[in-house]
């Protein structure tokens, strides 16, 4: 891939103070991309369209048929041979179209699931596809990111990397910046490698090598692609296919032998047997299943869900519990600080976003007059990695200041609250310098920075109030640091609860003077802190979630909220969204810690909210629910969520906020991080499965009908009702287009009012297998009925044409019946699947031309039908129709959720 040698930079270059921290320019990056190629490892060979086409003929039975055709051509039956060949080619074209489309959709999916990374170009941070990373790009990485190329670290905060993929060693490796004054390059400690994962901390690094030149490239091909494994259904269908092939071959052989015994010519019976085998074997089934899955995946994409693993499409229909994160998935993740508690006062913060100020009824709350409030806002602004940019936007012909937040929404809200209080980051940076950071993660639930202010070092900490209070010994009140009493603690916790009841997420702020030169070891600095105050922020529920929760409940799916937030906040939001109802309970992470697995399994049935949990708890929750027999969907975004996501039946990660590690562990990615999209995907999943059942029902009942027609005829010593090319024609006009169109069928309207399908349910369950058998048998009886009836009033040619027409008609009508297992065709509307209408019309037209176009009629050995003949055909083909509708209307049990 890399034909050219890249000019290697001297290592010193990366340590140089002049290293351009604005990164490359876009033009330079583009130039390098074109010159050195994409940052990818060499991939596997793609299958070409021609190979797909050739594959269609590799089937053993098709080869036998072609051989038999050649034989018949040699015997002088040139027209017959030609027609059979054309039919085989038409079949192959249909198969090719299906498979080619599948390949294309899967290819498109791979692109969608392609990883991205953050780089600085032209001084601006942006997200680009990993493929486009070039040498000397400055990349920004944080916990959960997969490292896109080999790079030298130029800035790091508590960086730990999992290099097991390269070294096999699973212990995290501590890494440091190569630019720490006086330390210099320390070899591997300053280098990060493509494919390894940041599991803690943050860093900036300059890319040294890309693509095949990376360490990973050298040890060759680990390629992370979408998983195209066969789905469980496909595997089961493969097995079924084998049984069907064997069964059909036996019956076809029996038909051939019986015919020969009866005195038919060997050649004729052999051709009949092989044609019947071609018709009977549902060779299109695997392709149609894959096409349906692939089309479904495209549809899910439109509804904001990217499927990474094809089997997930199937499993989605079985999901009966969705464990979802709260922040960003159920809520908008647009935080606004509403309340502040400092210096023993509650302060209201007005307005959404940047607009609005502190309410000013009380003069003392002006930050300039209250050193405690000022300190709180300063900690908020400094112990913060968010950034805000001001830009002018036009609103009704007026230019107004709009604020754009970059970074974590919780931090952005805190920063904005500080700015509202007049604490501006650019002023702060003049007298407070950040030295080190101990990053936030969901396990610690807090974050600290070490700063220097007026020659003294401080640690500024913010985090969950219960966590922060545990490490505070003092409180800052009336401009004095005084010991924190249990009375103070209770008051603070009461205020915290009060904020929580109003659905506010609450953070506490604290600080401490520390000796200079203290290392950023969390245990040694985050202790004996001075408590300063609380901020409570609002994160409104997403509007569409109300409906989605309702839909879930109607569909027999239980939504469960899992959050790092406090129990009270979680409960307020869960009640508002109707997730927490009567009889449901809430469990906290701390309570879970005191439970063994058995106890958790017992309680998880009725628990719909888990609060203050860490990713470890999530894993236990999934396991407990699975033990209870649930099919669990679980969302996650952080690096530590990966085990729970992997364990879940459907692991879901967040496209916007999710880390690479979470995405790679998941089987589905939500592009909008929205709970409603999970429900939409489940709906699609149910629909796809239903559609697969529809055409399995269709294909198998038709094939059974065709085989039994012939079998019964030879058993009862009748002349064969269909000649070989008629059989092939029936197969082409019914198996081809109508079956494909069924895969595109819109769902039953009540699809989300049905109970979820059982995870181990067979595709023939709920009476489908029996129904297929009965209908196949009925088709044969009706065809034979029409045949025998017409033999009594006309010659063999006419009777065969009538049998041929009856079978085609029954099958085309049956395609419409297969659209729903629970509803009559009149209920769902004859024209509601326009593709099927067109497919059946095209098939009907092809079939009719074999009767009315003289040239074709000669080849297909048909005769022109009279009005009476048509009446016979309509009568016999409607028997099956009447039976089917009576069965649907009276016998089928409902599976609706009570």
Q: Using the rule CB under 6 A, is 413 a contact of ligand ATP?
A: no
Closest CB to ligand ATP among residues 566, 822: 566
User: Among 32, 326, 512, 558, which residue interacts with ligand ATP (rule: CB under 6 A)?
Assistant: 326
Q: Using the rule CB under 6 A, is 721 a contact of ligand ATP?
A: no
d(CA 349, CA 664): 40
Longest C-alpha distance within the chain, in Å? 113
Q: Using the rule CB under 6 A, is 653 a contact of ligand ATP?
A: no
Q: 279: closest CA among 586, 579, 700, 637?
A: 700
**Residue 155 beta carbon to ligand ATP: minimum distance, rounded to whole angstroms:** 19
Q: Are 526 and 365 in contact (CB under 8 A)?
A: no
494: left (phi over 0), alpha (psi -120 to 50) or beta: alpha
- SS3 track for 815-841: HHHCCCCCCCHHHHCCCCCHHHHHHHH
Closest CB to ligand ATP among residues 416, 702: 416
Q: Using the rule CB under 6 A, is 283 a contact of ligand ATP?
A: no
Helix (H) or strand (E) holding 247: helix 232-261
**Residue 384 beta carbon to ligand ATP: minimum distance, rounded to whole angstroms:** 8
Count of helix runs (H) and strand runs (E) in the chain = 33, 26
User: Among 56, 102, 105, 442, which residue interacts with ligand ATP (rule: CB under 6 A)?
Assistant: 442
User: Among 144, 564, 589, 685, which residue interacts with ligand ATP (rule: CB under 6 A)?
Assistant: 564
Tell me how many degrees the CA angle 800-806-810 measures, rounded to the nearest 5: 150
Count of Cβ atoms closer than 10 Å to residue 165 Cβ: 16
Closest CB to ligand ATP among residues 563, 790: 563
Q: Which residue is nearest to ligand ATP (CB)?
A: 564
Looking up tokens 């913010």 gives: 462
Query: Per-residue x/- marks for ligand ATP, 481-510, CB under 6 A?
Result: ------------------------x-x---
Stretch that binds ligand ATP, among 15-23, 494-502, 562-570, 883-891 (CB under 6 A): 562-570
User: Among 446, 697, 819, 822, which residue interacts with ligand ATP (rule: CB under 6 A)?
Assistant: 446
Residue 356 tokens read as 């609005």
Closest CB to ligand ATP among residues 131, 325: 325
d(CA 406, CA 127): 13
User: Among 140, 244, 464, 727, which residue interacts with ligand ATP (rule: CB under 6 A)?
Assistant: 464
- How many angstroms separate the Cα of 855 from the Cα of each of 21, 79, 205, 800? 78, 10, 75, 18
For 862, phi then psi, to 5°, come to -110, 165
Q: Report which DSSP code applies to 40.
A: -
Choosing from 136, 137, 145, 325, the catalytic residue is 325
Residue 325 annotated in active site: yes
Residue-wise burial string across 557-579, b where 16 or more C-beta atoms lie within 10 A, e elsewhere: bbbbbbbbbbbbbbbbbbeebeb
Q: Using the rule CB under 6 A, is 408 a contact of ligand ATP?
A: yes
**Residue 381 beta carbon to ligand ATP: minimum distance, rounded to whole angstroms:** 13
User: Among 150, 213, 378, 411, which residue interacts with ligand ATP (rule: CB under 6 A)?
Assistant: 411
For 638, phi then psi, to 5°, come to -85, 170
Q: Using the rule CB under 6 A, is 327 a contact of ligand ATP?
A: yes
User: Among 105, 563, 820, 833, which residue interacts with ligand ATP (rule: CB under 6 A)?
Assistant: 563
User: Among 131, 325, 735, 869, which residue interacts with ligand ATP (rule: CB under 6 A)?
Assistant: 325
Q: Are 488 and 341 in contact (CB under 8 A)?
A: no
Q: Using the rule CB under 6 A, is 609 a contact of ligand ATP?
A: no
Q: Using the rule CB under 6 A, is 539 a contact of ligand ATP?
A: no
Q: Using the rule CB under 6 A, is 144 a contact of ligand ATP?
A: no
Closest CB to ligand ATP among residues 224, 575: 575
Closest CB to ligand ATP among residues 211, 589: 589
Count of Cβ atoms closer than 10 Å to residue 897 Cβ: 14
Stretch that binds ligand ATP, among 390-398, 440-448, 529-537, 714-722 (CB under 6 A): 440-448
How many chain residues touch ligand ATP (CB under 6 A)? 20
Partners of 474 in the beta sheet? Answer: 483, 530
For 796, phi then psi, to 5°, come to -60, -40
Stretch that binds ligand ATP, among 53-61, 94-102, 404-412, 812-820 (CB under 6 A): 404-412
Count of Cβ atoms closer than 10 Å to residue 869 Cβ: 20
Q: Using the rule CB under 6 A, is 158 a contact of ligand ATP?
A: no
Stretch that binds ligand ATP, among 185-193, 319-327, 340-348, 515-523 (CB under 6 A): 319-327
Q: Using the rule CB under 6 A, is 440 a contact of ligand ATP?
A: yes
**Residues lying near ligand ATP in the complex (CB under 6 A):** 325-328, 408, 410-411, 440, 442, 445-447, 462-464, 505, 507, 563-565
Residues taking part in catalysis: 325
């Amino acid at each position: 891939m890399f034909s050219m040698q890249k000019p290697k930079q001297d290592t010193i270059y990366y340590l140089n103070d002049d290293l351009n921290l604005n990164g490359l320019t876009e033009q330079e990056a583009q130039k390098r991309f074109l010159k050195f190629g994409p940052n990818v490892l060499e991939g596997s060979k793609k299958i070409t369209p021609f190979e797909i086409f050739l594959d269609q003929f590799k089937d053993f039975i098709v080869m036998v048929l072609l051989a038999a055709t050649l034989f018949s051509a040699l015997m002088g039956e040139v027209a017959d041979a030609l027609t059979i060949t054309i039919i085989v080619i038409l079949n192959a074209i249909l198969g090719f179209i299906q498979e080619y489309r599948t390949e294309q959709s899967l290819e498109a999916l791979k692109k969608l699931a392609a990883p991205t990374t953050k780089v600085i170009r032209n001084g601006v941070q942006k997200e680009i596809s990993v493929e486009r990373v070039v040498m000397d790009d400055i990349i920004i990485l944080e916990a959960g990111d997969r490292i896109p190329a080999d790079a030298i670290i130029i800035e790091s905060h508590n960086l730990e990397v999992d290099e097991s993929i390269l070294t096999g060693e699973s212990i995290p490796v501590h890494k440091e910046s190569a630019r720490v004054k006086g330390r210099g390059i320390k070899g591997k400690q300053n280098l990060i490698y493509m494919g390894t994962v940041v599991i803690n901390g943050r860093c900036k690094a300059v890319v040294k090598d890309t693509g095949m030149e990376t360490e990973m490239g050298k040890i060759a091909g680990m390629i992370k692609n979408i998983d195209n494994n066969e789905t469980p259904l496909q595997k089961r269908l493969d097995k079924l296919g084998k049984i069907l092939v064997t069964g059909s071959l036996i019956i076809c052989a029996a038909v051939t032998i019986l015919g020969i015994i009866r005195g038919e010519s060997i050649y004729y019976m052999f051709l009949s047997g092989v044609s019947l085998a071609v018709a009977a074997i549902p060779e299109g089934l695997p392709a149609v299943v894959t096409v349906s899955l692939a089309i479904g995946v495209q549809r899910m994409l439109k509804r904001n869900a990217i499927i990474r693993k094809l089997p997930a499409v199937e499993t989605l229909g079985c999901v009966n519990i969705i464990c979802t994160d709260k922040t960003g998935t159920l809520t908008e993740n647009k935080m606004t600080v509403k309340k502040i508690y400092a210096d023993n006062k509650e302060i209201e913060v007005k307005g959404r976003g940047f607009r609005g100020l502190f309410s000013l009824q009380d003069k003392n709350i002006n930050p300039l007059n209250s050193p405690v409030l000022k300190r709180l806002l300063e900690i908020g602004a400094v112990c913060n990695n968010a950034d805000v940019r001001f830009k002018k936007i036009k609103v009704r012909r007026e230019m107004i200041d709009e604020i754009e937040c970059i970074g974590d929404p919780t931090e952005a809200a805190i920063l904005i609250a500080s700015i509202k209080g007049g604490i501006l980051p650019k002023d702060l940076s003049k007298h407070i310098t950040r030295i080190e950071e101990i990053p936030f993660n969901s396990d610690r639930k807090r974050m600290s920075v070490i700063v220097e202010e007026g020659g003294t070092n401080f640690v500024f900490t913010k985090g969950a109030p219960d966590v922060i209070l545990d490490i505070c010994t003092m409180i800052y009140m009336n401009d004095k640091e005084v010991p924190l009493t249990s009375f103070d603690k209770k008051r603070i916790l009461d205020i915290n609860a009060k904020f929580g009841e109003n659905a506010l997420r609450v953070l506490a702020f604290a600080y401490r003077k520390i000796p200079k030169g203290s290392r950023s070891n969390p245990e040694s600095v985050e202790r004996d802190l001075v408590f300063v105050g609380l901020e409570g922020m609002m994160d409104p529920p997403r509007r569409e979630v109300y409906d989605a929760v309702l839909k879930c409940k109607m569909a027999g799916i239980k939504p469960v909220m899992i959050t790092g937030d406090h129990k009270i906040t979680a409960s307020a939001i869960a009640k508002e969204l109707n997730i927490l109802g009567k009889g449901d309970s809430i469990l906290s992470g701390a309570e879970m810690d005191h439970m063994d697995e058995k106890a958790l399994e017992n309680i998880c049935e009725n628990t719909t909210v888990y609060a203050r949990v860490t990713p470890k708890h999530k894993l236990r929750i999934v396991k407990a629910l699975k033990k209870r027999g649930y099919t669990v969907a679980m969302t996650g975004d952080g690096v530590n969520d990966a085990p729970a996501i992997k364990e879940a039946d459907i692991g879901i990660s967040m496209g916007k906020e999710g880390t690479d590690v979470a995405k790679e562990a998941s089987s589905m990615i939500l592009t909008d991080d929205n709970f409603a999209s999970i429900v939409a995907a489940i709906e699609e999943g149910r629909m796809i499965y239903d559609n697969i059942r529809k055409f399995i029902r269709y294909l198998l009942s038709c094939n059974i009908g065709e085989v039994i027609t012939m079998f019964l005829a030879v058993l009862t010593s009748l002349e064969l009702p269909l000649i070989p090319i008629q059989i092939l024609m029936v197969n082409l006009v019914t198996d081809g287009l109508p079956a494909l169109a069924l895969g595109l069928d819109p769902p039953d309207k009540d699809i989300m009012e049905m109970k979820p399908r059982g995870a181990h349910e067979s595709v023939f369950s709920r009476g489908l297998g029996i129904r297929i058998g009965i209908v196949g048998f009925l088709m044969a009886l009706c065809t034979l009925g029409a045949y025998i009836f017409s033999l009594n009033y006309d010659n063999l040619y006419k009777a065969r044409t009538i049998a041929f027409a009856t079978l085609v008609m029954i099958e085309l009508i049956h395609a419409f019946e297969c659209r729903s297992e629970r509803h009559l065709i009149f209920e769902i509307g004859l024209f509601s699947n326009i593709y099927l209408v067109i497919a059946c019309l095209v098939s009907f037209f092809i079939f009719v031309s074999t009767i009315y176009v003289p040239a074709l009629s000669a080849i297909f050995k048909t005769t022109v039908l009279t009005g009476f003949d048509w009446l016979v055909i309509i009568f016999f083909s409607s028997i099956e129709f009447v039976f089917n509708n009576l069965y649907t209307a009276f016998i089928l049990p409902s599976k609706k959720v009570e």
